[in-house]
Structure 1
Amino acid sequence: MELEWYIILALVGTGVAAGFINTTAGGGSMLSIPLLMFIGLPANVANGTNRIAIVLQNIVAVSTFRKKKIIDLKTDYRLALPAIVGAIAGAFIAVEINVDLLKNVIAGLMVVMLFVVVLKPEAWVKEKAGKVHAKPSLLQYVIFFFVGVYGGFIQMGIGFFMLAALVLGAGFDLVKANAIKVFIALLYTICALAIFFYHKQVDVVAGLILAVGNMIGAWLGVHFQVKGGAKYVRYVLIGAMVIVILNLLGVFG
């Protein structure tokens, strides 16, 4: 696909916003996938192409989190394993689904999460001592398997559900949870991207241009979190969730 200069600028600009949102909260793909479809990519190709930006964005994010000593790959890899298996399964799913029903279900779950974030702020900003360094439970492994299935199949909105699992289920504060989130997403997205490549559902040029913006946004997002802390990340999370919920409910047309 030959891209005009203004489309290139739109991809980079949208990528910056998506990378920042993905790294600090979730839902950035709600911006990038529609844009990829707007420039002419079929929905399945847009879904696959977006994974290039996600992979490169998360490489930058994980590298920056490591330099800031927020993430320790020696201990924070455990929950990534079931997510990878789930993502591979999700990327192979080829069943008919009611997209409108799915959007409403996701919006409903996010409304519940929004109330939890607003009404129980302490759960999102304080790490639970003695819980977060323990070996994950069987339930956590099961939860992250299904998180992976969803991420491998759709990707959009996966960050919110992963944050809920990491904060409410595993006891991490938002900054640490975001670091582990992007690490898990990096690993399972690589696997999912390989499957999309195999099925020729990736536009490499558009994906790499979008990725330039995503990487810049990811770098900015990590530094915002390290400087502002979990308290300010929570505000970004609330704002992103409100916008995504309204978008899923068709408020923006």
Structure 2
Amino acid sequence: MDITLFDALLLIVAGLFAGFINTLAGSGSLITLPLLMFLGLSPHQANATNRVAIFFQTLVAVRNFEKQKTLDIKQNLSLVIPALIGSAVGATLAININEELLNAFIGGLLFVMFFVILFKPERWVKEQAGSVDAKPTFWRIIIFFGIGLYGGFIQAGVGFFLLAGLVLGVGYDLIRANAVKVLIVFCYTALALGIFMWSGQVNYLFGIVLAIGNASGAYIASRYSKQIGTKYIRYILLVAVMLAALKVLGVFELLF
């Protein structure tokens, strides 16, 4: 499938924005996933191709967080492993699901995440940051397996669930939770991407162009997040997610 200059610019700009907010919080794939579908990819191809950008985005962020001594990889392997197993299950489900059902799922997810972003539940998570003294439990394994399963299946919006799990289930403060979140996403994305590549659903050209934007956004966010304001990101994301949901579900076609 060919890509025009306009398509490439659109992917890079969207990827830049998505990589930035994915690294600082999450939900950037709520923009890039429907965009890939708008540009002609099937739901399966868009879901698979989006992982190329996520892989490079998280690779850049992990390296920067490591350099800044914010992230200890070995210490968090007990969280990575159940997420890896879950992502393998989720990605396998994603490549085998009916295309119409996947399209409906993506559209429905966009609407749900619109209200999640609107009501800002992350405020409650931030209030709990550092106040939880959690110890390793069986339920922690289940929680991160479930998050990995969701991430392997669809990815969009997984950042919020990971932050909630790391703050409320593990007891991390927000700075450390954000770094560990990026590590977990990097590890399970590598596995999920391999499954999608094996299935032949990845559009490498679109994925690499999108990855340029995502990786750039991740670099900016992980290096200069304290100097960059994020006040208006939520409002831009709300508008983009609602428009994407209406488009994916075919509402525009019914109205016009």
CA shift at 1:238, angstroms?
Answer: 5.7
Secondary structure (helix, strand or coil) at the match of 1:41 reads coil
Tell me the distance in 1 between the aligned counterparts of 2:232 and 2:130.
Answer: 19
How many residue pairs match? The answer is 244
Q: Quickly say closer, same or farther: Cα 1:206–1:187, change in 2 above 3 A.
A: same
1:36 has 2:41 as partner: no
Counterparts of 1:136-215 in structure 2, within 5 Å, are 136-215=136-215
Tell me the distance in 2 between the aligned counterparts of 1:109 and 1:139.
Answer: 25
Partner of 1:3: 3
Secondary structure (helix, strand or coil) at the match of 2:77 reads coil
CA shift at 1:108, angstroms?
Answer: 5.1
Deviations 1:105-159 (A, max 9, x none): 7755875684543456422xx4237x36x5x321111011011111111111111
User: Structure 2: any 5+ residue segments left out of the alignment?
Assistant: none
State whether residues 36 and 46 of structure 1, in contact with CA within 8 Å, keep that contact through their aligned partners in structure 2: yes
CA shift at 1:177, angstroms?
Answer: 1.3
Deviations 1:37-66 (A, max 9, x none): 222211111111111110000000000011
1:127 has 2:149 as partner: no
Tell me the distance in 2 between the aligned counterparts of 1:26 and 1:106.
Answer: 14
Query: Larger deviation: 22-31 or 81-90?
Result: 22-31
State whether residues 20 and 218 of structure 2, in contact with CA within 8 Å, keep that contact through their aligned partners in structure 1: yes
Tell me the distance in 1 between the aligned counterparts of 2:102 and 2:40.
Answer: 23
AA partner of residue 47 (structure 2)? N
Secondary structure (helix, strand or coil) at the match of 1:2 reads coil
CA shift at 1:237, angstroms?
Answer: 8.2
Secondary structure (helix, strand or coil) at the match of 1:6 reads helix
State whether residues 90 and 148 of structure 2, in contact with CA within 8 Å, keep that contact through their aligned partners in structure 1: yes
1:85 has 2:88 as partner: no
State whether residues 25 and 178 of structure 2, in contact with CA within 8 Å, keep that contact through their aligned partners in structure 1: yes
Secondary structure (helix, strand or coil) at the match of 2:178 reads helix
Deviations 1:45-98 (A, max 9, x none): 111111111000000000001111111112022211001000000111134558
Tell me the distance in 1 between the aligned counterparts of 2:170 and 2:38.
Answer: 38
Tell me the distance in 2 between the aligned counterparts of 1:105 and 1:44.
Answer: 15
**RMSD (Å) for aligned C-alpha atoms:** 3.0
AA partner of residue 36 (structure 2)? L
TM-score (norm 2): 0.82
User: Structure 1: any 5+ residue segments left out of the alignment?
Assistant: none
State whether residues 107 and 246 of structure 2, in contact with CA within 8 Å, keep that contact through their aligned partners in structure 1: no
AA partner of residue 128 (structure 1)? S
TM-score (norm 1): 0.83
CA shift at 1:173, angstroms?
Answer: 2.2
Tell me the distance in 2 between the aligned counterparts of 1:101 and 1:42.
Answer: 13
Tell me the distance in 2 between the aligned counterparts of 1:173 and 1:27.
Answer: 20
